[in-house]
Amino acid sequence: MKKTVLWIFAVLALAVAGTAIYRFCFRKSIPEAEQIVQVQSILQQNSCFVCHSFEPEKPFYASFPVIGKTMEKHMRHAVRFVELEEASEDLANAGEALLAKLEYCVLENTMPIIEYKMVHWGTSFNKAEKAVLTDWIRSRRAEILGSEEFADMPVQPIPASLPTDPAKVDLGKRMFNDTRISLDNTISCASCHIIEDGGADHEDERTSEGINGLVGGVNAPTVYNAVFNIQQFWNGRAADLKEQAAGPPVNPVEMGDQTWDDIVARLRKDAALVKEFEQLFPGEGLTQSSVTEAIAEYEKTLITPDSRFDLYIKGDRNALNEDEVKGYKAFIENGCAACHAGKNFGGQSFEYMSVFGNYFAERDDDIQRNADDDGLMGFTGNPRDLERFKVPGLRNVALTAPYFHDGSEDDMDDAVEKMFEYQLGVDPSDKLVDRITDFLKTLTGKHPDLKK
Ligand code: HEC
Ligand code: HEC
Ligand code: HEC
């Protein structure tokens, strides 16, 4: 009897291992390039480019009075949500937001929209096409994450730490808090990015106040987890944290200096500091490059792992209560993660503020339009980028009010409601909004200097 059971186990184990090995080899046997060609042709064959393109070819009925107008509206919404024709040319470099969007429409079966399917039968993904898409999405995501773990999720937990040089971190932290970087010794990075409170500016400041009480045009995003963003600033004008740190000191309404030479000259009066920079940056010493590099190194430690949500998806099923779990599901099922993707729940793409409707036309009259409202266009000069903003990360969002690039919203509920209205074209129930905000509050993570 015992022997038979053992045999059954052995055969079962072999079967399981065999399947795993077979699947592993089979996967590897489709090279990435071929997988991408398949994905491209699936998108093409299912008419995805008809609507998700900046220069779509109009179908024959586009000129019909009613259908034509409806179609035009759909096309406008479609391309504002996601452009696919140009994106499909560069799938090898697809980012997390594109992956999250495609995954969403495959899993939720949303595309093409119903009106289109009624006219064009057979334009939904079949089972085999879905499998190719999901396989590609997951392997590309694993490539970005450097791991298979969580490659099936549009949002992922934050690692406990990132590799850094502790001596540079320590120096960078002091630089971050050093008011000598500002023209009149009054402002440091920490004046606007309050590390104890969430890394953003004071709650009562819609936009930041810099040197001499001058006020800037946008709300200060948090520095926590900024390291996970693909680019820095609302309009992406800095490629990384080092490049970003060079900006505020010579911004006339932030720290007020004319040039970095002035700043470096001022800091060089401190002999001990000069010596320390020479030790840590041999051959370079204290320069703009080394100061900003030290600050960026420090910012890599400003990450907030172990939020209750992170504990939950890593396996602690008691870390979230029932309503919070429902809120998490609602966040995914309503497509929030299609834009708020990745470890930081955002920071992976530039999206239009208003896929549906017109946020700017309906905004509070007290807020004057300024150049910052142009978003990404202000950096690229491309008219297509008008009013596209880097999607803010939602980590610690309970601590970073007011919300949006213009700081127009004090209340998280209202911000979420606006997202439903302008990004998803949905009128949500109060209960749905409550659930999602309950969930968003579970994204507050841990950092030794965070006092909340
Ligand atoms: C007839 C126009 C049309 C076609 C064809 C179409 N879409 Fe869409 N798509 C839209 C519109 C409009 C939206 C905006 C959301 C909405 O109204 O549901 C959208 C939204 C999306 C989204 C955002 C999330 C979502 O699912 O709502 C994705 C991803 C997407 N489309 C992918 C595709 C893919 C892939 C195809 C090809 C199978 C496709 N679309 C075909 C019109 C279209
Ligand atoms: C006067 C207030 C002020 C000061 C001083 C200041 N910042 Fe900022 N910071 C802001 C504002 C406002 C933005 C958003 C600007 C934009 O996107 O155009 C910002 C953006 C950032 C971002 C980008 C985050 C993201 O998600 O895009 C980082 C990182 C950052 N600041 C770090 C620093 C560092 C480092 C210093 C010191 C060298 C500094 N800040 C000084 C107000 C300030
Ligand atoms: C089409 C992309 C897109 C979708 C879908 C989307 N968002 Fe956003 N979200 C953005 C962008 C872009 C901003 C910044 C807008 C601005 O500052 O003007 C933003 C801002 C926010 C903010 C404010 C954060 C801050 O720090 O200022 C919250 C909260 C938020 N979104 C939650 C959600 C929720 C919840 C959902 C789903 C109901 C959602 N978003 C769906 C793109 C999107």
Is the whole model's pTM more than 0.85, yes or no? yes
- Integer angstrom CA distances of residue 128 from 106, 125, 135, 270, 452: 12, 8, 11, 67, 49
Catalytic residue chosen out of the listed positions 254, 276, 293, 409: 254
* Domain chopping of the chain, boundaries: 1-27, 31-145, 166-299, 308-443
Whose tokens are 């939602």? That residue is: 394
For residue 52 and ligand 1, the question of a CB distance below 6 A is answered with yes
Q: Encode pLDDT of 130-159 as tens digits.
A: 999 999 999 999 999 999 999 999 999 999
Q: Encode pLDDT of 401-433 as tens digits.
A: 999 999 999 999 999 999 999 999 999 999 999
Residue predicted with more confidence, 14 or 179: 179
For residue 407 and ligand 3, the question of a CB distance below 6 A is answered with no
Give the binding-site residues of ligand 2, using a 6 Å CB cut-off: 176, 187, 189, 191-193, 208, 210, 216, 218, 220-221, 223, 226, 229, 232-234, 241, 244-245, 248-249, 254-255, 295, 390
Mutational pocket test of ligand 2: of 181, 206, 208, 379, the residue with most ligand atoms within 8 Å of the beta carbon = 208
Question: Residue 13 is encoded by which pair of tokens?
Answer: 């184990």
The answer on pLDDT for 29 being more than 60 is no
pLDDT, residue 66, reads 79
Q: Encode pLDDT of 187-231 as tens digits.
A: 999 999 999 999 999 888 899 989 888 889 899 999 999 999 999
Domains 166-299 and 308-443 fall in the same CATH topology: yes
For the residues 440-450, what does the mean pLDDT come to? 98
Cα–Cα dist 168/290, whole Å: 10
For the question of residue 254 being annotated catalytic, the response is yes
Residue predicted with more confidence, 109 or 265: 265
Report the first-to-last Cα separation within the chain, whole angstroms: 61
Determine the length of the chain: 452
Q: Encode pLDDT of 251-272 as tens digits.
A: 999 999 899 999 999 999 999 9
For residue 420 and ligand 3, the question of a CB distance below 6 A is answered with yes
For residue 40 and ligand 1, the question of a CB distance below 6 A is answered with no
AA identity, residue 16 = V
- Taking the CB of residue 278, how many other CB atoms lie within 10 A of it? 14
- Integer angstrom CA distances of residue 278 from 170, 268, 286: 15, 11, 7
Question: Residue 269 is encoded by which pair of tokens?
Answer: 């009066």
For the domain made up of 166-299, the CATH class stated in words is: mainly alpha
CATH 3.30.420.40, applies to 308-443: no
